[in-house]
Amino acid sequence: MYTLVLNGSMRRGGDTDALVAAFARGVEGECETVRACEAGIAPCQDCRWCWEKRGCRVRDGMQEVYEKMARADCVVIASPLYFSQLTGPLLTLGSRLQCAYTAKSFRGERFFAEERLGAVLLAGGGDGGPEPAEKTAKTLLRCMRAKWVGTAASLKTNRLPAARDRAALDAAEALGRRAAQECGRR
Ligand SMILES: Cc1cc2nc3c(=O)[nH]c(=O)nc-3n(C[C@H](O)[C@H](O)[C@H](O)COP(=O)(O)O)c2cc1C
C-alpha cells in the first residue's frame, strides 16, 4: 500500500505532523509526504491549456506530484486551519488539479486512471470551525478520484498540542487502520 500525504503545514514537527505520524502508524506499506510549501509548485494560471490537452502546461514540482498521485492507493490531505481553510501552499497545490477537473468535465476523460482512498487530517488552534477546510479537502480528493474514508482532527492546539491530544492521535491512527483495511478489500 502506497500512501501519499499532501501536507499544508509550514511547521516541521508541528501539530499536523503529529497527526500524520499517528495516521502512518495505522497504515501499512510506504507513506510519503509532500510538503506543499517546499515542493516548488506554482499556482494554476487558468491558462486553459488543459481545456483541450491532457495534463498541465506548467513544468514544475507538480509534475512529480501528479505521478505520485496516480500511483497512490491512498491520498491524505493534512493541514493546519488558516482562517478555517487549508493553508495557502496546499490550496496552491490543489489549484493544479484543475487539469483533472477539465479532463472530466470538458472532455469526458479521466486524468487519473484508477480510483483510490482518501482521508483528511486537520489541526486547529481553537478559533473557528474546520468545516470549510474539510469541504475543500473533500473536493480535492474527488479530483484525485479518492473515496473519502474519514477525517481526524486536533482542534484545540493552542492549549493542547496535537502531539499530546490522545483522542486525536488515536482517531488519526484508527483512520489509518481503516484505510489499510479498505485498501486490502479492494
Ligand atoms: C495565519 C494563521 C491562521 C490561523 N487560523 C486558524 C483558524 O481559523 N482556526 C484555528 O482553529 N486555528 C487557526 N490557526 C492556528 C493553527 O491552525 C494551529 O496553530 C495549528 O495547530 C498549527 O498546525 P502546525 O503546527 O501543523 O502548523 C491559524 C494560524 C495561523 C498562523
The model's pLDDT over 60-110, given as tens digits with 9 standing for 90+, comes to 999 999 999 999 999 999 999 999 999 999 999 999 999 999 999 999 999
Specify the number of domains making up the chain: 1
Please name the residue whose Cα sits nearest to atom 30 of ligand 1.
82
Show the ligand 1 pocket: residues with CB < 6 angstroms. 9-11, 14-16, 80-84, 123-128, 157
Convert the pLDDT of each residue in 28-45 to its tens digit.
899 999 999 999 999 999
Cα–ligand 1 centroid distance for 69 (angstroms): 26
Given the CA of residue 84, which atom of ligand 1 is nearest to it?
8
Q: Give the mean pLDDT of 114-129.
A: 96
Cα–ligand 1 centroid distance for 14 (angstroms): 11
pLDDT at residue 45, rounded to an integer: 97
Q: How many CB atoms lie within 10 A of CB 53?
A: 13
Confidence at 185, pLDDT banded by 50, 70, 90 = confident
pLDDT at residue 20, rounded to an integer: 98
Q: Give the mean pLDDT of 57-62.
A: 98
| Substitution site in 12, 19, 82 for ligand 1 pocket (most atoms within 8 Å of beta carbon) | 82
Q: Which residues lie below 8 Å from residue 5, measured CB to CB, with a gap of 6+? A: 20, 23, 24, 31, 32, 33, 34, 75, 76, 78
CATH of the domain at 54: 3.40.50.360
* CA nearest to 23, candidates 78, 69, 70, 87: 78
Convert the pLDDT of each residue in 122-160 to its tens digit.
999 999 899 999 999 999 999 999 999 999 999 999 999
- The pTM of this model reads 0.98
Confidence at 5, pLDDT banded by 50, 70, 90 = very high
Residue 186 has pLDDT above 80, yes or no: no
Please name the residue whose Cα sits nearest to atom 19 of ligand 1.
125
Please name the residue whose Cα sits nearest to atom 22 of ligand 1.
80
Cα–ligand 1 centroid distance for 133 (angstroms): 12
Question: Helix/strand/coil (H, E, C) string of the chain?
Answer: CEEEEEECCCCCCCHHHHHHHHHHHHCCCEEEEEEHHHCCCCCCCCCCHHHCCCCCCCCCCHHHHHHHHHHCCEEEEEEECECCECCHHHHHHHHCCHHHHHHHHHHCCCCCCCCEEEEEEEECCCCCCCHHHHHHHHHHHHHCCEEEEEEEEECCCCCCCHHHCHHHHHHHHHHHHHHHHHHHHC
Cα–ligand 1 centroid distance for 81 (angstroms): 5
Cα–ligand 1 centroid distance for 15 (angstroms): 9
Domain range for 163 is 2-185
Q: Give the mean pLDDT of 49-63.
A: 97
Confidence at 57, pLDDT banded by 50, 70, 90 = very high
Confidence at 184, pLDDT banded by 50, 70, 90 = confident
